[in-house]
Structure 1
Amino acid sequence: MTPVCLVGSRYGGLVTLPGETDNAPIKVVPIYLDPIVEEEAPVAAAPASPAPEPVPVTRRTGLVGVFALLTAIATAVLLGVSVSVASSGADDAGTTLAWVTIVCSVVAVVAGLVAAVFRLGRATGIAAIILGILANPWLLATVLGALTP
């Protein structure tokens, strides 16, 4: 006879043969397991952290905006000087002053943009952009030439 079913044989159960499983008493052996209790690791007292160091406040200065505004004012002054020199008959000196005014205007607008974008004197940077664009002799001549019939 060959055993077919081992019911609880490990714990002294029955070995059954084919066809004998209907009448065979079944022994149910409960297995009691002790629950695994994990010991809690002792929580070490967190070391007292020192007071957080104050973050150094970096104060943004508005020097870039002031530089842009001063350059824009210099552009407006140079525009007036170049127009008065050119109208007095010195065309070469007036043209040279106009080119210097254009360069000064570009520097004022770029410095104003840097000041406005990076918050390094935003209000003065915006004022420098506006004044630098309005005092540019090339833009002034282009706009006035377009408006003239």
Structure 2
Amino acid sequence: MRGLKKKRRIQIIALAFVSLALAVGLIGYAFQDGINFFRSPSQVLAEPPSPNETFRIGGLVEQGSLQRGQGETVRFRVTDGGGAVPVTFRGVLPDLFGEDQGMVGTGRYINGVFEATEILAKHDESYMPKEVIDALKEQGVYQPDGEGS
């Protein structure tokens, strides 16, 4: 009787461990598509990500680079002062999107061009995403409250 209880306890502990490992594995797999890492243009140029990796890129829209194509296709370059990456986007841009303005885009880097599926622009005159500010400070081109340009 005593050996049977011990054996049953070991089976329950083993089953709980396997269930926990399976749950952690499933959660990790589910989050794999939902996690988008942020990269600055300099980081993208230094270490280009694979074409199937979705990530976020941010910086300033380079002056003179905004081109509106046929239909809803827009082309521009995003820069952090240390490098500039060409971006294409098909869709409607936010109202506050413009040259020399902060932006963050989500998409993939394919054949040297960032193909954005989503573009976010700053929502007022002083806001810029923290990741973009950090990347610009790292390159030495961040000037708070628009004191440069």
Alignment TM class, shorter chain as reference: under 0.3
Give the number of the structure whose alpha-carbon radius of gyration is greater.
1
Query: TM-score if structure 1 supplies the norm length?
Result: 0.27
Query: Whose helix fraction is larger, Structure 1's or Structure 2's?
Result: 1
For normalisation by structure 2, the TM-score amounts to: 0.27
Structure with bigger strand share is 2
